[in-house]
Amino acid sequence: MALRPIRRALLSVSDKTGLVDFARLLSGFGVQLTSTGGTRKALADAGLKVIDISEVTGFPEILDGRVKTLHPRVHAGILAIRDNTQHMGVLAEQKIEPIDLVVCNLYPFEATLAKPGSTHEDIVENIDIGGPSMVRAACKNYHDVAIVVDPSQYAAVAEELKANNGATTLELREKLVGAAFARTASYDAAIAGYFASRQNTGGDYPERLDLSFRKKQGLRYGENPHQKAAFYVEPNVRHACVATAEVLHGKELSYNNILDLDSSLNLVREYAEPAAVVIKHNNPCGAAVGGSLVDAFRKAYEGDPISAFGGILGFNREVDEATAMQITEPKRFIECIIAPDYSPEALKIITTRPTWKNSVRLLRTGPLQADAARSLDFRRVDGGLLVQGRDAEADDFKTAKVVTRRQPSPQELADLQFAWLVAKHVKSNAIVLARGGMVVGVGAGQMSRVDSTHMASRKAGDRSQGSVLASDAFFPFRDNVDLAAAAGVKAIVQPGGSMRDQESIEACDQHGIAMMFTGVRHFRH
């Protein structure tokens, strides 16, 4: 087991969560506490006996605290190999006491970087120097020294101390080393990324990309039962998203649940008015806006009630009692719901009704921001990683042009913009039919655009009469217009840009269809 008793601990932390309780436990085992600056003050204010680092080094903290632990008496105490007689002889000769435990979480660089209003000077000042040096020293000498870099580790260390009369095992120390190096790697990657972004003001990507994610949870399996999986999140993410959402009810989320929840939330946050979406296999099978959330949900579910069975619901407003009543109507089955919040009445309805209380998962995000999650988008390929900016192009139609003789009516214009935003979140080739602020047909992921148009019109049936059509990319031929006209479509929105655009325009004029070009493509592979 290679037990090592802890007799002296050095504590220097920015995040003081749980610090006093942990230090009190150490003191209870007779551990001598040494500390720095604000950490020392917090411990002393709690009534704990603590030695200031300057008493160890014989030198005061200087340069506004920039230099305090960078001293041979500190690092020799950490790095000395206990079984090496020469090392221990040097410590005795220099009157240096060994340090058996280092508790150090680093300056909050990432949090400062993420904080609105932080200046460059604020960010640079939160680059820790002494902290990473102590962490690395303790890691190198893990056979003798334990390193704790996060308050979440206090409980495990405390349990081991209790089980081993104030000592740690080699197994725990090695586990702590892995976590410590992961932390310093993440920390350095964040700093490198920040300075790379300052150099790449023209939008170029850096030559080297180092990413760091924290494991949030293990998953039962991946897309299929034979695939192992886990969910990792970015550090210091604060905006409303699946990674920060609170699970209020239900069994463990699956890999596919998380993908679909993310898709549903990204779509509903596009709309200012009450909106609801039903996601199935990472595509919206139903989506709608309305004067109220219950109205939006009713229309979204009616878009394709067969496909909606077992789907994922997303809302951009608090789920109220009326909406909850509609959601839980007989013969409906929903896997997960994600929303900014739930009223007490809605929460009770969804979590207590028979067949619902044991199956549905509920996630609460807090208020949604329309411009959230505008960071980089990653896609793994064998042997590499594709990186791009998120598809956050403004879609307010200010630059869209009507290219046909017929102008869209005000209602058609509203439906066109609604359908255009939905098509942005449908797998290519994407065709969306909408009418009255709701999706009535979707064609997704087909190898030809005309196949997607066929699929969407078949899904819509008679509801395609008087509908509008949105296409995520241009029409290569006029056949899409002819199919749309046969289905009763009255207006179309598409990016334009085909060498045969004029053929599509002429086809629309022949059928009396209004068509708009946005100049923006929204492929989603």
Instruction: Answer positive or negative: Cα dihedral of 373, 379, 385, 391.
Output: negative
- Prediction pTM value: 0.79
Cα 178 to Cα 15, 92, 158: the distances in Å are 20, 31, 18
CB 436 within 8 A of CB 415: yes
Q: Is 256 helix (H, G, I), strand (E, B) or coil?
A: helix
Three-state SS for 396?
A: coil
- Residues ≥6 apart with Cβ < 8 Å to 408: 402, 416, 468, 490, 491, 514, 516
Alpha carbons 52 and 60: distance in angstroms, whole number = 10
Return the residue matching tokens 């998203």: 241
pLDDT for 277: 98
The CA distance from 419 to 443, in Å, is: 12
- Residues marked active site are found at 140, 281
| pLDDT for residue 57 | 77
- Report residue 111 as tokens: 């949090």
Residue 115's pLDDT is 80
Give the fold, CATH level 3, of 401-517: Cytidine Deaminase; domain 2 (3.40.140)
State how far the Cα of 180 lies from the Cα of 25, in Å rounded to an integer: 22
**In this predicted structure, what is the pLDDT of residue 218?**
92
Buried b (16+ CB within 10 A) or exposed e, 393-423: eebeeeebeebbebebeeebbbbbbbbbbbb
Half-sphere exposure of 38 (CA within 13 A, CB side): 9
Instruction: Compute the distance between CA of residue 24 and CA of residue 161 in angstroms, rounded to an integer.
Output: 13
What 3-state DSSP class applies to 414? helix
C-alpha angle with apex 248: 341 to 322, nearest 5 degrees?
45
Confidence at residue 439, expressed as pLDDT on a 0 to 100 scale? 97
Domain-wise residue ranges, the chain: 4-198, 239-364, 401-517
pLDDT score for 274: 97
Classify residue 302 as exposed, middle or buried by CB count within 10 Å of its CB (0-12, 13-18, 19+).
Answer: middle
DSSP string of 317-347, one letter each residue: S-B-HHHHHHHT-TT--EEEEEES-B-HHHH
Summarize pLDDT for 428-439 with one digit per residue, the tens.
999 999 999 999
Asked if the domains at 239-364 and 401-517 fall in one CATH topology, the answer is: yes
Residues of the chain with pLDDT under 50: none
CATH of segment(s) 4-198: 3.40.50.1380
**Tokens 């969407």 belong to which residue?**
456
CA distances from 153 to 180, 230, 507 (A): 11, 20, 67
User: Topology of domain 239-364, per CATH?
Assistant: Cytidine Deaminase; domain 2 (3.40.140)
Listing DSSP states for 115-174 in one string gives STT--HHHHHHT--SHHHHHHHHHHHTTTT-EEE-SGGGHHHHHHHHHHTTSEE-HHHHH
Contact at 8 Å (CB) between 147 and 176?
A: yes
Q: How far apart are CA 304 and CA 136, in angstroms?
A: 57
